[in-house]
Amino acid sequence: MSARLRSFGFKAMGGPCNVHLWLREEDELTKIEKELTDEVRRLEAKFSRFQPSSLLSQINRGELNEVSLDAETVGLFNYVDQCFDLSGHMFDPTIGSLHRVWDFKIPNLPDPRDLERALQHIGWKKVNWDGRTVNLTHNVQIDLGGIVKEFAVDRLCTLLKEKGLIGLVNLSGDIAVSQAPEDKPAWKVAIQHPRKAGAIAEVDLAAGAIAGSGDYERFIEIDGVRYCHLLRPDTGYPAPNGFCAVSVIAENCLLAGTVSTVAMLKGELGHAWLEEMQLPYVAFDQALQAYSSIEV
Amino acid sequence: MRLKWLFVVLCVVGVSGCVTVSPWQRGNLAKSEMSWSPDALESTLDGHIYFAKEASSGGGAAAGGGCGCN
Amino acid sequence: MSKKLTLLAKSALAIPGMIATAQAAGPAGSEASYRYTYYTEDDSPEARDDSGGAQDRYKIQVHQFHILTPVTDKFAVNVEASYESMSGASPVYSYIADGQEDVYTHFNGASRERRYDVSANGRYYGSTSDAGAGVYASMERDYFALNGSLDGSIQINDQMTTLSGGVSAGHDWLNPNSGVVSDSGDVLMVNDLSSEELEQLAADAPARHAAKGKTKWQLSVFEGVGQIIDMNTVVQGSVSFTYKTGYLSDPYRDCVGSDAPLADNVPCDIRPSTRAAGTLSLGVRRYLPTLNAAVHGDYRLFVDNWDVMSHTLDLDYYQNWAPNWNFFVNNDVNFQLVPGVRYYQQSQAYFYEIPDLNTTTGSAYSADTTRYYSSDPRLSHYGAISLKTRLKIDFRQFSLNGSVERYAANPAYGFNFDDDTPGLPAYWRFTTGLDFRF
């Protein structure tokens, strides 16, 4: 019996998740669906900053200060630490307090004094990560929202690979594929138009992952200036004169996601960052002019 | 029969009270220094010498072949 | 790739679960190994050697070869072979001499002996199980042993638990030499002697004469269970049972040669013709992530129907060190230092006895020696301590190995402060070798 393309979807991590995969045995689908859903739920329960029982909430309450963390958390924190250094401190998972002073539902800029106070609780170094344990100071809070979704995509893709399955995992636009589809040399992935519904470009993905960031996800507009939800840890504001959307292709979704996020945060220096990282990318500036290292 | 009983106890002790360690969390367990006998030739010679010099042998596996050394 | 990207990609892949692990557990590549070992026993204690002087005890040189190669992704073949050459004296009987209180040991110097062995096994790997079959042969001029084995394991309980089991059977043929050297210098085998020579041998060396053409059988089974405890810990327990039947005495144990009147009453070496032994083994492996090290602990309890009960405790510490310098990183250089200690302790076999040739005692032995008797120090109540250190250096697909072991056996190490057992060995062992992966 030849393989057929099957799909299933569920809600996870604040967005839709879709999995497409080639299956020979019809009855495998429910089993795989359960296994993949369980894995996403596990990561949600572990790294959610909203669930009081999550590991991350325990860490944020200081309950796990100077306690050896598990290997997975250690791996993620080491990765964060590396990103923080390499991005010139732009990538910082402690900016959570900024989201309490920015309200993207009403067109008002935050009170500068509130912003100043919030900035005092920001700084990855205040977590005192030593490669094994944390020791949170200055009421700092960790928010892994910027990487857990990408990591979850990689985890699901790894599970497919371990089963020898051909498939594509899409979690709110962050995508990874286990290998090229059976009938074509690559999966066709559409890139969202930053200003209107529909696609602005299409890329071929035979292996690896693609992830993107854009100023269109959550933003407010004041006097013609767009303020998006990607806030810088140094100013507390979004980067001025940056890209409006960036998509990066990498061997895994985590890498693609962080490189594109940092490109957004770097503002005018975003293009130089992308060139320096030497990963395939597609980016659009405010005038929707395309910058790209690949054919799209 | 006593040995059989021990085996049953070992099984029960072994299975209960352990959280599942997922395959992707087994990187450390897969390291060569975590195997039961990391160096095959050393284990062979150890077994041979201790068998020749002591009254006990075996354990861990079915007994290996003999030699004129004991 | 840019340097930044390389660093970032490396720490992303270091997160557990980012890389798919292969489902088939078979070996991915081939490996060939060679080891050279020099084994040397300390000289016998001069004061307790009835020859009046110290003698060179055993020196053994061992060459070992090993090759493991996957034939398909589910089937692999493993072959081991070794060649040993040995020379030196070994203890052939112990006694308390007439008019003495101390135990003396008589040593016999063996001529240069050689031993060859080869074992081969094939193993089939399923996704959660494996099964293997193997054969083993050991050849000496005066001894031939064959062995065959089957074993398998299966993983259950989300692959957290491994159940294993196996069976082996062996047959040995004894063909002791006569201790007589022919005119051309060859050592004559017992089977090659004429009937007159045999009669002489029966009188001079009854043990060797008695072992003429003898054989023994061995059957062994084991069951084990391994359990993953957490991300860094795995434990294992197993039991085994071995039954031997046939000629189990040592043909090279001689009868007490002494002028004491009671010496004639002491037999050479008569052991029961069956031996049943059981073992219980427990092991733990724990990885220490912060130290990049692993700790091994192994315990074995051995019990047999010769009243020998022994405890063996092995502790090893594996310390890895991978320097983060360019040359070392580019060439996959890793160091592994493994210090270890082994403690062994056994009780004596019920038929072990040192004959006391003092005429004043009236009898050379108290046990029923007409049935079973041995003065083999290996059957006495003693303990042994061994210290071992190994160093492994990986370089690309090569590993250079070296190890040193110091072993010493003594009644006192086994909490036996009453007896004196001069024939127990102490030795040094030096090993070096090379592994090659391809």
Other CB atoms within 10 Å distance of the CB of residue A28: 14
Q: Scan residues 21-50 of B and list those with Cβ closer than 8 Å to C.
A: 21-31, 33-36, 38-42, 44-45, 49-50
For residue C17, the chain A residues in CB contact (below 8 A) are: 72, 154-155, 158
A71/B25 CB distance under 8 A: yes
Question: Which among A152, A178, A204 is the end of a domain?
Answer: A178
Contact C283 B36 (CB under 8 A): yes
Instruction: Report yes or no: A21 and A10 within 8 Å, Cβ to Cβ.
Output: no
Residues of chain A with pLDDT under 50: none
* Percent of chain C scoring above 90 in pLDDT: 52
Inform me whether the pLDDT recorded for C69 exceeds 50: yes
Residues of B with CB below 8 A from A71's CB?
A: 25, 27-28
Contacting chains of C (3 CB pairs or more, <8 Å) are A, B
> What confidence tier does C414 reach under pLDDT thresholds 50, 70, 90?
very high
Contacts of A94 (CB under 8 A, 6+ apart): A121, A122, A123, A124, A126, A127, A140, A141, A142, A143, A233
Would you say C105 and C50 are in contact if contact means Cβ atoms under 8 Å apart?
A: yes
Chain A residues with CB-CB distance to C231 below 8 A:
70-71
pLDDT digits (tens, 9 = 90+) for C23-67: 556 787 899 999 999 999 998 777 777 777 777 788 999 999 999
Cβ contact A71–B24 (<8 Å):
no
Q: Is A79 on the interface with C (CB under 8 A)?
A: yes
* Residue B13 pLDDT greater than 60, yes or no: no
pLDDT attached to residue C199: 84
CB pairs B-C closer than 8 Å: 220
Q: What angle do CA C21, C25, C31 make, to 5 degrees?
A: 105
Statement to judge: residues A209 and A119 lie in one domain: no
CA distance C106 to C91: 6
Q: Do A162 and C7 touch (CB under 8 A)?
A: no
d(CA C308, CA B56): 8
Question: What is the pLDDT, as a whole number, of residue C368?
Answer: 66
In angstroms, the separation between the Cα of residue B64 and the nearest Cα of chain C is: 7
CB spacing of A162 vs B27 below 8 angstroms: no
Q: What is the ipTM of this complex?
A: 0.91
> Which residue in chain C has the smallest CA separation from B53?
C378
Beta-carbon separation of A71 and B23 below 8 A: no
Q: Does A66 touch chain C (CB under 8 A)?
A: no
The DSSP annotation for A41-58 comes to HHHHHHH-SSSTTSHHHH
> Is C209 within 8 Å of C236 (Cβ atoms)?
no
Contacts C73 to A, Cβ<8 Å: none
Structure token digits, residue A277: 């990282």
Amino acid identity of A279?
A: L
Using CA atoms, how far apart are residues A56 and A36, in angstroms rounded to an integer?
21
User: Is the domain of A157 the same as that of A206?
Assistant: no
Two structure tokens written together for B12: 């029960």
Confidence of residue B70 (pLDDT cuts 50, 70, 90): low
Q: Number of helices (H) and strands (E), helices first, in chain B?
A: 2, 0
Distances (CA, A) of C16 to A161, C95, C291: 15, 64, 18
Dihedral (Cα; B46, B49, B54, B58), 10-degree rounding = 50
CA nearest to B28 within chain C: C232
pLDDT at C328 over 60: yes
> Out of 2.40.160.50, 3.40.1180.10, 2.60.120.10, 3.40.630.30, which CATH number does the structure's domain C45-53+90-175+213-437 have?
2.40.160.50
CA of residue B13 relative to chain centroid, distance: 17
When pLDDT is averaged across residues B44-56 and rounded to a whole number, the result is 92
d(CA A49, CA A147): 13
What are the backbone dihedrals phi and psi of residue C105, each rounded to the nearest 5 degrees, phi first? -125, 135
Strand ranges in B1-70 using DSSP code E only, listed in sequence order: none
Burial (CB count within 10 angstroms: exposed 0-12, middle 13-18, buried 19+), residue C345: buried
Token reading at A142: 């960790």
How many other C-beta atoms are found inside a 10 Å radius of the C-beta of residue B3? 14
Residue A26: its pLDDT value, please? 74
Nearest Cα to Cα of residue A147 among A4, A287, A257? A257
Query: What single DSSP character describes residue C148?
Result: E
Q: Does A164 touch chain B (CB under 8 A)?
A: no
Of A131, A158, A178, the last residue of a domain is A178
- Distance of alpha carbon C259 from alpha carbon C73, whole angstroms: 68
Q: Which residues from chain B sit within 8 angstroms of residue C216, using beta carbons? A: 66
Q: How many angstroms separate the CA atoms of C402 and C428, rounded?
A: 14
In whole angstroms, what is the distance from residue A274 CA to residue C4 CA?
A: 11
Q: By CA distance, what is C291's nearest residue in A?
A: A132
According to the model, what pLDDT value does residue A133 have?
A: 85
Q: Which residue of A has its CA nearest to C1?
A: A278
Name beta bridge partners: C72: C75
Tell me the chain C residues in contact with residue B62 when contact means C-beta distances shorter than 8 Å: 149, 151, 166-168, 220-222, 240, 242
Residues of chain C contacting residue B36, judged by C-beta atoms under 8 Å apart = 226, 236, 283, 285
| CATH, residue A155 | 3.10.520.10
Which of the given ranges, A62-66, B56-60, C198-202, C404-408, has the highest pLDDT on average? C404-408
How many domains are there within chain A? 3
CA distance A282 to C69: 47
* Residue C255 vs residue A159, higher pLDDT: A159
d(CA B8, CA B3) in angstroms, rounded, equals 9
Residues 6+ apart with CB under 8 A from C199: none
Which residues on neighbouring strands pair with residue C109, listed in sequence order? C89
Do both A216 and A249 map to the same domain?
yes
Q: Give the closest-approach CA distance of A18 to chain C in angstroms.
A: 20
User: Would you call B23 and C142 a contact, using CB atoms and an 8 Å cutoff?
Assistant: no
Chain B contact for A234 (CB, 8 A cutoff): no
C285·B34 Cβ contact <8 A: yes
Per-residue pLDDT band for B6 (boundaries 50, 70, 90) equals very low
Print the domain residue range for A269: 185-296
Instruction: Flag whether pLDDT at C384 surpasses 90.
Output: yes
> Nearest residue of C to residue B52 by CA position?
C378
Cβ-contact C8, A82 below 8 angstroms: yes
A69 touches chain B (CB under 8 A): no
Task: Let me know if C418 is exposed, middle or buried by CB neighbors in 10 A (0-12, 13-18, 19+).
Answer: exposed
CB atoms within 10 A of CB C44: 25
- Residues A217, A295, single domain; the answer is yes
Residues A161 and A250 in one domain: no
Across the interface, do B59 and C240 touch by the CB < 8 Å criterion? yes
Contact A252, A134 (CB under 8 A): no
Q: Give the C-alpha distances (Å, rounded to integers) separating A69 from A72, A75, A80, C341, C425.
A: 8, 10, 15, 32, 49
**Measured between CA atoms, how close is C362 to chain B, in angstroms?**
31
Query: Minimal Cα–Cα distance from A153 to chain B, Å?
Result: 15
What letter would DSSP give residue A109?
P
Q: Under an 8 A CB cutoff, do B65 and C220 touch?
A: no
Nearest by CB to residue B34, choosing from C33, C277, C294, is C294
CB B28 within 8 A of CB C289: yes
Chain Cα centroid distance, residue C216: 19
What percent of chain C lies above the pLDDT cut of 70?
94
CA angle C348, C349, C354 (to 5 degrees): 75
Q: What is the mean pLDDT of residues B11-15?
A: 43
What mean pLDDT comes out for the span C193-209?
A: 81
What DSSP character marks residue C49? B
Same domain, A43 and A70: no
Kindly list the residues from chain A whose CB atom is less than 8 angstroms away from the CB atom of residue C13: 252
Asked if the Cβ–Cβ distance from C231 to A254 is below 8 Å, we say no
Asked if residue A217 lies in contact with residue A244, where contact means CB atoms within 8 angstroms, the answer is no
pLDDT digits (tens, 9 = 90+) for A50-102: 889 899 999 999 988 888 788 889 899 999 999 999 999 999 999 888 888 88
Please give the structure tokens belonging to residue C127: 């996704």
C390 pLDDT band (50/70/90 cuts)?
very high
Residue C73 has pLDDT above 80, yes or no: no
Radius of gyration, CA atoms only, chain B: 17
Can you give the pLDDT at residue C369? 63
Put simply, the answer to whether C8 touches A83 (Cβ < 8 Å) is yes
Residues from chain A that touch C19, judged by Cβ atoms under 8 A, are 158
Interface of B with A (CB under 8 A): 23-25, 27-28
- Parallel/antiparallel/unpaired status of strands C59-72 and C177-181: unpaired
Q: Which residues contact C372 (CB under 8 A, 6 or more apart)?
A: C270, C271, C272, C350, C351
**Is C4–A79 a contact, with Cβ atoms under 8 angstroms apart?**
no
Q: Chains contacting B with at least 3 CB pairs below 8 Å? A: A, C
Cβ neighbours of residue C12 closer than 8 Å, sequence gap 6 or more: A79, A252, A254, A255, C18
